[in-house]
Chains A and B, each alone.
Chain A
Amino acid sequence: MRAMWVGSVAVLAATAAMALAQQTASTAWISAGTTGVLPAQAEFPTPAGRVGFLLSGGPVEMKGHPFFTPLGKNGRACVTCHQPAYGMSFSAEAARDLWKRTGGKDPLFAAVDGSNCPSLPQEQEKSHSLLLERGLIRVFLPVPKNAEFTINVVSDPTGCNTSTVYGLDSPTPTVSVYRRPRMAANLKYVTNPAPRIVLKLGALSDTDPATGRPVGMNFMADAREATLITQARSALLGHGEAQSVTDDQLQKIVEFENQVYVAQIFDRSAGSLVEPGAPPALGPASMAAHRPGVLGDNDYDSVFLSFDSWKKGGASPQEQFRASVARGADIFMFRQFWLRDVTHINSIGLGNPLKRTCATCHNHQMTGQDLSAGFVDLGTTNYPRWTEPPLYSDARDLPVFKITCKPEALPHPYLGRVIYTSDPGRALISGRCADVGSIVMQQFRGLSARAPYYSNGSAKNLRELVDYYDRRFDMKLSEAEKQDLINFLGVL
């Protein structure tokens, strides 16, 4: 029996949960330290319908569980940024709602990275503008010792990169970039192990420090952590400001994360996404049942399987919407365009340009990530194709860095030796000039629950996401094609 659970602090029987189904998503925010049982199945309202949440191992008691319990001094837990009601991430709208409800006192807004910079007056809303407007968390990293480049701050709206305490000129030179928290769900796909050699690098993949086995390098925007264990430790010590964390706590966190599946389950226009005859990739149960590691860039076992059952359309608005979704799936798989100037796609022997489709890069069946290590420079953070205003703007809210490649370094393959960027991405880990702006692509599931999109939260909605691709690759999508794509992405 499916429970629908939208309460925040409760031990819920399935029947009681059904009664709570009409509550809003905002009341489903789980604060760190919440006790009660998280049911095995739940649905949460989203702007487009409802997102489904499934725990493949059954209900979880939150009391004392390290995923839900603050382990550090700022009161945060993992759940602070990975909310079941928001696709195991959170939306900017939810952050704004939380600010209003708590007066900015929730640990989400902790100075360390829930504000634009810890040096700013924390009680002021504008000090948290990137979190409230774009859903961004500050990520602060040292410049790699082996960096093939120098980095200078061109503009610093948050003040953090020029801060003598937190910035590049501080005693511990640090770069602050701002990124969306990724969804902590469907992780068997995201952590699918890679071959020993990374296609995009022509070099060895990172390895699990515990086992020595190669890892997929496909989670986190910059793939800086090898495993969920190392990620959890790093997050607790950094974002959570914990003094220490035990192996047992880490194991419990990862055990929990590995049983979470999220996907849209109901769409206001399409209706149930999991009824008999619905496209087989939809819904969280499909995510749980399917096997990871399947390459879907083909016409016989596609990335999101088949939408044929919705193709026939009909007279009703629901049938017409479903037909639009099916057309969107076909556009995703088959609509060709010039895929060009993308580091780690065009530069690995495929040629530039490449006449292909969305599924070329977004090829991992069920998630739409890349089956290979996923960092590519789509262009969202690098001038001139970045998502920020193309001309000078006082309203620009992200920092801009000037990256200058050293003479002996291999340049960025499409931007050369001087690159202006709002986030160097993978280059802050690898130190390679060629990696500037490369960001690991994200999974496509539960999108309606966790706007805005892109690593820098620049696309407020799916329309803006599709528009960026249309401009970036000169796809010349018609209005109808755009709407089909939006409808398709919205039900995933």
Chain B
Amino acid sequence: MKLRVLAVPHVILLVVQIAAAQQINFVACPVVRDTRTVPCFLAEYEGETYFLAVQQDISADQYPPQLLHDVLVEGTIQPGPRVCGGIPLKPVKLSVMPEVNPACNTILPAEPGIDAPPTHRPAGPSTRPAAAAAAPAAPAAPVRPTPPFGEREWKILYDFDSAFLFSRDTRTVNQAADYAVAAKAKQIEIVAHRGATLLSNGKVLVEGQAIAAQRAERVATLLKGLGTDPASVKVRVMSAPPQPDGKTDPENRVVSIRVSP
């Protein structure tokens, strides 16, 4: 694929590069592709297959979509070889749409030549890396925030129409709480937003009216439960969705936590 692109005339190469940087936003059923190792998650849009994610575990940054649900894909086409039979998207934000769609139920068998990218965890139980097996490391002690304490901000990005805090998100809230407690924060400001997304077909998806309030409430509850001073927690709910641009829309489905000592 790469050689073919290099071999074409200069003008065509330019076109390919523009296309390669293309943002693509669509809603589709995920398709699961079994492989010799872990399964891949793909989606088809306008006759093309895109690679979305691979099975990992909750320590991963990218979580796979779910069968029985549509997936909202917001990604940038990544030049280079196909992954697991699909065009890779990077960066990509995947949102499991909340309602059940029984039509999303396709699992393809493994095929020779279609392999999942490497993952740190196999399909079965986890394995201990050889180095760790030889000299098991002691568990790392939690890092406590230390002075000087300045103003700091954390952001949590959400799936579309979701207020669920995944493991990756609760780690963020934990960090903010630890910092606020250590800094004896005078104010913890939570600003929660409601987003909208411009799809590649021109359609606009807007999140539910109450989603920003739900996000704020969950984060505030968590912060208070993690030991911060409840009186210091202030909440702002931004219920008006911004104008979507089809590029930065995932960044608008966000809660920011600003800690001020």
Contacts and interface: CB of A to CB of B under 8 A. Distances in A.
Interface stretch (B14-22, B51-59, B228-236, B250-258): B51-59
Given A204-B221, A355-B34, A416-B99, A348 B167 contact: yes
Contacts of B170: 197, 199, 202
Contact of A416 (B65, B100, B218): B100
B124 A350 contact: no
A288 to B, nearest CB: 25
A297 B123 CA distance: 11
A334 B122 CA distance: 11
Given A299-B125, A333-B125, A350-B58, A203 B218 contact: yes
Nearest to B209: A408
Given A352-B68, A353-B67, A297 B125 contact: yes
A173 B35 CA distance: 51
Interface in A322-353: 333-334, 336, 338, 340-341, 346-353
Contact of A300 (B57, B63, B128, B167): B128
B164 A356 contact: no
B109 to A, nearest CB: 12
A312 to B, nearest CB: 23
Nearest to B60: A349
Contacts of A336: 123-124
B226 interface: yes
Nearest to B52: A351
A431 interface: no
Contacts of B38: 355
Contacts of A415: 100
Contact of A204 (B53, B55, B210, B222): B222
A416 B102 CA distance: 10
A354 B125 contact: no
A196 interface: yes
Contacts of A300: 127-128, 133
B174 interface: yes
A204 B225 contact: yes
Given A333-B124, A414-B100, A202 B32 contact: no
Given A348-B167, A351-B53, A351-B64, A298 B58 contact: no
A352 B67 contact: yes
B206 interface: no
Contact of A202 (B64, B68, B164): B164
B39 interface: yes
9 contacts: A196-B225, A199-B58, A202-B164, A350-B57, A350-B58, A351-B55, A351-B64, A351-B66, A416-B99
